[in-house]
Amino acid sequence: RVMNDVKTGLQVVENERRIHLSRAYLEGYVDLQDLASQEAVAGLEIADAASVLDYCAGGGGKALALADQFRCTVSAHDIAVARMVDIPARADRAGVTIAVLETAELTQRTFDVVFVDAPCSGSGTWRRAPEAKWAISSEKLHGYSTLQLEVLSKAAELVAEGGQLIYATCSVLNKENGAVLAAFLAANSSFVKVRDAQRLPDALGDGFFHAVLRRS
């Protein structure tokens, strides 16, 4: 069934653990992604033919969503190259093209849109894994916010003039979201915030934060 106002969002109502064996999945009609991530991507405005980089790509979920919903050129990067090993097969199954780039290949390049789904505490996913909240500490949270600001600052260097920088986490904690964003903007006067949004966890999806910044 369709979920909320996200036209790409479908909820599997039975045998959800067997999606990867279904004909729809194997033939590339569907892939797995939480509703919160779909909402964030669906709300973006990306011009046709724009160059887009999924900077902390991991398995490529955001890159796949971007390639599916916009007529743009999508690339994926992750500092840990091994995390991206499944992207070519996922892209081929979905019928889209995603260039997988290593760090050295980003030198002297800029993109119209850079999407940064930063490493975080994962507090927005605790509805599915409540035991994870016992593993967090103030020291770990400080470490995440420091890393997030560092990652966001590096990604900002790849944004073309007039381009967009999207900062996202699957966290509901201000220390990882609004506070990081404020620190970045204070140190980078060439970027302005267009909007931000905090989704709280519910029965349909995880908690998720994202902010759209523009390079002036």
Catalytic positions are 170
The separation between CA 93 and the C-alpha centre of its own chain, rounded to angstroms, equals 20
DSSP state string for 131-153: GGGGG--HHHHHHHHHHHHHHHH
Tokens 């398995």 belong to 59
Strand bridging mode 159-169 / 191-199: unpaired
Residue 30's CB is within 10 A of a number of other CB atoms, namely 16
Q: State the Cα angle at 62 between 184 and 127, rounded to 5°.
A: 85
